[in-house]
Chains A and B, each alone.
Chain A
Amino acid sequence: MNYEFGFYVFMLAAFLGFELIRKVSPLLHTPLMSLTNAIASISVVGAILISGEKDATTLSRVLGFVAVVSATTNLVSGYLITDRMLKMFKKRGPAKK
């Protein structure tokens, strides 16, 4: 396996993350956190691989299942609430002269 390659990917993604996040307006820090929190639920990929395996033991089936549930909870609620928050940000309030 090519661990070296993995480290290059990690380094580049981390630097890119720093540059992108630094540009985010403090206005949006809360939705930003919900969004990155939702993106971290990418671990659902690992959970699916574990619980969908052909000859999985009961233990890994159960662990995988709980992992799918909790990752999905994080994923669904994270994206939905981010969108709910962003919908509220308006440039001009309705009650203006």
Chain B
Amino acid sequence: MSFGVYQALYIVAAGLFILALKWMSAPATSRRGVISGEVGMLLAVVATLLRHEVVNYEWIAAGLIIGSAIGVPLAMLMPMTHVPQRTAISQACGALASALIGTAEYYRLKPHGFIMGALAIEMLLGFLTTTASVMAFGKLHEMLPSRPITFKGQNIVNLGLLGVAVAIAVVLVIHPEYSYLFPIFVALALIFGVLMIIPIGGADMPTVIALLNSYAGLSACSMGFALDNKLLIIAGALDGSSGFILSIIMCRAMNRSFTNVLFGGFGQIQKSVAGQEARPVRSATAEEAAGILSDARTVVIIPGYGMAVAQAQHKIRELHDLLTKRGIDVRFAIHPVAGRMPGHMNVLLAEADVPYDKLIEMEDINSEMGLTDVTLIVGANDIVNPAAQNDSGSPIAGMPILDAYKSRTVMVIKRGMSPGFAGIDNELYYMDKTLMLFGDAKAFLASLVKEISANHD
């Protein structure tokens, strides 16, 4: 094998990808990481264009231009609350590319043995990730119901379908010339992607998005084996391991296993809840809540997906600024699975100009919750539900929670008394120290801000 310019560029590109991930570890160096990744990708594209096999440039140029024309608005015009959707749809594009390349390679070479095996894995993961990501997009964008849809024998049907797809792939590896089987294989992979997402509910999306991210990477990695391209293997493996480790972190933050997330149909409304009588809660007006907040010395704000839905992050920052100016210590407690993708809350609060040293992780803030005067919960439910610790029969038993119940006063901004994603009642709402602030998160925060700046200055 001769060693030319493009191989050298590929090695540099691989190194830059590794540096990109290394620099991503801290906010101070993270933008350098993105630049490193961009340069790496540019080198990889240029190196590929220089290869002597590539002679026909019109289609490539057209593809690069059209892709950029779609990609730029997709990135620049998307509101930050829609980042999970964007990630899902972008992932679908990447996976589709990988799957189509596999298809083209199959029809071109009809390869035997190892290469066909690698192509089969590439296409299986690529096609199923494509439809699964599109479905995830639909659920996140609320074009599809975000509650899980389950039916009897669902897991058997799904696994059976996957089993048949794998079996066909094995036949194709042994007899690549049976090309009539190929469309069936593709169709099964596409259908499996759809079926895989149907039973998954909105709050499990962080895990699933991360897992699909991993699949897309592994698909690119298999392509690397099929094309004997080490750069693809390295970049694909980096992405594969990244997605995998993130989904493990998400599972751990919910005290659930992979199998439970993928096959559990979690988050259906529990029948038992409906039978209970309405229990009394204490509620408060914006005026009363404003008074309590301005008299506090330490305040912890716990945001959840409801904050994103209500677009309340800017009002939260106003409240934070106002209280901070009065000498009150305000911090944010971030649960790892709050929102619809890993780290979702941090991005939204950063968008609203909340300094990131105020965003505290669960393990670090829980020990201080007992010393907190007021905890303000905005659009979060299951992640502060004490049932996770006290009720071993609860669906969320054992899930690590933010210990909001330990603080002196708890305030919950909520539309009504409907249960959270897990469909279970929250003991926290009925505690004596809890005040329910009923209303739209954004509107309620606005009136809090108004009350505090008008009456408590």
Contacts and interface: CB of A to CB of B under 8 A. Distances in A.
Interface of A: 1-3, 5-6, 9-10, 13-18, 20-54, 56-57, 59-61, 63-97
Q: Which 4 pairs show the lowest CB-CB distances between chains A and B?
A: A72-B67, A68-B63, A76-B71, A29-B343
B96 A70 contact: yes
B288 interface: no
Nearest to B351: A88
A37 B56 contact: no
A34 B270 CA distance: 35
Interface stretch (B87-95, B192-200, B407-415): B87-95
A18 B239 CA distance: 10
Contacts of A18: 241, 245
Contacts of B359: 27
A39 B100 CA distance: 18
B31 A86 contact: yes
A43 B223 contact: yes
Interface in B197-239: 209-210, 213, 216-217, 219-221, 223-225, 227-239
B15 to A, nearest CB: 11
A91 B28 CA distance: 9
A81 B71 CA distance: 10
A84 B107 CA distance: 40
A6 B34 contact: no
Nearest to A85: B347
Contact of A30 (B83, B107, B217, B229): B83
A40 B55 contact: no
Contacts of B356: 27, 89-91
Interface in B158-205: none
A38 B97 CA distance: 13
Interface residues of B, number: 113
Contacts of A15: 241
Contacts of B237: 9-10, 13-14, 17
B144 interface: no
Contacts of A69: 63, 66-67, 70
Nearest to B91: A37
Given A26-B334, A76-B68, A40 B235 contact: yes
Contacts of A40: 94, 213, 216-217, 220, 235-236, 239
Interface stretch (B18-26, B257-265, B271-279, B366-374): B18-26
B221 A39 contact: no
B350 A36 contact: no
16 contacts: A13-B241, A14-B237, A21-B245, A25-B26, A39-B217, A42-B17, A53-B55, A67-B96, A73-B67, A74-B93, A74-B94, A76-B67, A78-B90, A81-B78, A90-B355, A93-B321
Contact of A57 (B40, B74, B108): B108
Contact of A17 (B21, B31, B325): B21
B60 interface: yes
Contacts of B55: 52-54
B295 interface: no
Contact of B114 (A3, A32, A54, A85): A3
B101 interface: yes
Given A28-B26, A67-B63, A90-B356, 15 more contacts: A5-B230, A16-B18, A27-B359, A36-B21, A40-B235, A42-B220, A45-B44, A49-B48, A51-B59, A67-B104, A68-B97, A70-B67, A75-B71, A88-B80, A90-B350
A44 B353 CA distance: 35
A18 to B, nearest CB: 5
Contacts of A48: 45, 48-49, 54, 60
B355 A91 contact: yes
B342 A33 contact: yes
A30 B228 contact: no
A31 to B, nearest CB: 7
Contacts of A42: 17, 41, 44, 220, 231-232, 235-236
A12 to B, nearest CB: 8
B236 A94 contact: no
Contact of B240 (A17, A27, A76): A17
A90 to B, nearest CB: 6
Nearest to A92: B355
A93 to B, nearest CB: 4
A13 B235 CA distance: 8
B346 interface: yes
A72 B75 CA distance: 12
Given A52-B54, A76-B72, A30 B41 contact: no
B62 to A, nearest CB: 7
Contacts of B303: none
Given A6-B228, A43-B220, A57-B107, A26 B90 contact: no
Contact of B225 (A6, A29, A43): A6
Contact of A46 (B232, B325, B334, B341): B232
B27 A93 contact: no
